[in-house]
Structure 1
Amino acid sequence: MDTQHRLIKQENLFLGTINQAMVYPREIIKEALACNAAALILAHNHPSGVAEPSFSDRNITQKIKQAAELMEIRVLDHFVIGRGCYFSFAEQNLL
């Protein structure tokens, strides 16, 4: 997103299996820098249908946020999408 939080680019970076996905903060930051992004919104789904973030989700979100902050990029939110529901890290004050 740009400095006015307008979408610059939407990118699917990682694919996972039924119960896990490998996520690399470096690749997320690399894509953001290539677009000259000022901010990010992250999202992923849980095939189980449960939108509650796992310990791993919480951990990787903090790592991505820390990496982004070093590059002066804000993480505005991280959505976990379930079956008919979602979880927002920003709404829960976890960012």
Structure 2
Amino acid sequence: MFSVLFLDSQHRVILFEELFRGTIDAASVYPREVLKAALTYNTGAVILVHNHPSGNTCPSDSYQRITQHLKGALGLMKIRVIDHVVVSSEGCISFAKLGIL
């Protein structure tokens, strides 16, 4: 699944919402839908979250690319992407902490 934590301009939580659900090894993420939801909630910033059912928390190339696409699309509306967190049964990782964002 791919979810978004929508935050206001002071980084207070507005809503945590699951936007996309995939199969066992992939989820399609559409930047247009993320942007539409962010605008609906009058969002100032977001934290992206997705899970890896395999237990592997290593960020895949495809998720690194979609993160950059989302950062660009949301940035056009002055909505900041604070982090992208990958969650699994083995723990979690932060794109920001890894220096990917």
Shorter-chain TM band:
over 0.9
The answer to whether residue 46 in structure 2 is matched with residue 40 in structure 1 is: yes
Q: Name the residue aligned to 1:72.
A: 78
- The count of corresponding residues between Structure 1 and Structure 2 is 95
Q: Which runs of 5+ in 1 are unaligned?
A: none
The structure carrying a bigger strand percent of its residues is 2
TM-score (normalizing by structure 2): 0.91
Looking at structure 2, the residues matched to 70 and 87 of structure 1 have their Cα atoms a distance apart, in angstroms, of 26
Question: 1:86 corresponds to which residue?
Answer: 92
Residue 21 of structure 2 corresponds to residue 25 of structure 1: no
Looking at structure 2, the residues matched to 92 and 53 of structure 1 have their Cα atoms a distance apart, in angstroms, of 10
Structure 1 runs of 4+ aligned residues shifted over 4 Å read none
Task: List alignment gaps of at least 5 residues for structure 2.
Answer: 1-6
Q: CA RMSD in A?
A: 0.7
Check the 8 A contact 2:56/2:90 in 1, yes or no.
Answer: no
Q: Which amino acid aligns with 1:93?
A: G
Given that 2:46 and 2:79 are in contact with CA atoms closer than 8 Å, whether structure 1 keeps it comes out as yes
Question: In the aligned structure 2, how far is the partner of 1:61 from the partner of 1:94?
Answer: 9
Distance in structure 1 (CA, Å) of the matches to 2:81 and 2:72: 9
